[in-house]
Chain A
Amino acid sequence: GENVEQHPSTLSVQEGDSAVIKCTYSDSASNYFPWYKQELGKGPQLIIDIRSNVGEKKDQRIAVTLNKTAKHFSLHITETQPEDSAVYFCAASIKKNSGGYQKVTFGIGTKLQVIP
Chain B
Amino acid sequence: DTEVTQTPKHLVMGMTNKKSLKCEQHMGHRAMYWYKQKAKKPPELMFVYSYEKLSINESVPSRFSPECPNSSLLNLHLHALQPEDSALYLCASSQPRDRGYEQYFGPGTRLTVT
Given contacts A44-B43, A108-B41, A109-B42, contact A101 B104 (CB under 8 A): no
Q: Which residues of the partner chain A approach B45 to less than 8 Å between Cβ atoms? A: 103-104
In whole angstroms, what is the CA distance A49 to B45 when docked? 20
Q: Is the CB of A108 within 8 A of B48?
A: no
Return B58 CB to nearest CB of chain A, in Å: 9
Given contacts A43-B90, A44-B90, A46-B104, contact A100 B42 (CB under 8 A): no
Q: Is the CB of A49 within 8 A of B90?
A: no
Q: Is the CB of B55 within 8 A of A99?
A: yes
In whole angstroms, what is the CA distance A103 to B101 when docked? 10
Contact of A42 among B40, B97, B107 (CB under 8 A): B107
In whole angstroms, what is the CA distance A107 to B44 when docked? 11
Return B39 CB to nearest CB of chain A, in Å: 11
Q: Which residues of the partner chain A approach B43 to less than 8 Å between Cβ atoms? A: 44, 89, 106
Complex interface residues of chain A between 50 and 97 (CB less than 8 A to chain B): 51, 89, 93, 95, 97
Q: Which residues of the partner chain B approach A101 to less than 8 Å between Cβ atoms? A: 31, 33, 48, 50, 55-56, 94, 96-97
Contact-size category for B: 20 to 34
In whole angstroms, what is the CA distance A36 to B6 when docked? 19
In whole angstroms, what is the CA distance A63 to B50 when docked? 31
In whole angstroms, what is the CA distance A92 to B40 when docked? 19
In whole angstroms, what is the CA distance A64 to B35 when docked? 25
Asked if B22 is at the interface (CB within 8 A of a chain A CB), the reply is no
- Give 28 CB contacts A-B under 8 Å: A42-B107, A43-B4, A43-B107, A43-B108, A45-B105, A46-B103, A46-B105, A49-B101, A95-B97, A99-B48, A99-B50, A99-B55, A100-B30, A100-B31, A100-B51, A100-B55, A101-B33, A101-B48, A101-B50, A101-B56, A101-B94, A101-B96, A102-B97, A102-B101, A102-B103, A103-B56, A108-B42, A109-B41
Q: Which residues of chain B have a CB within 8 Å of any CB of chain A?
A: 4, 6, 30-31, 33, 40-43, 45, 48, 50-51, 55-56, 90, 94, 96-97, 101-108, 110
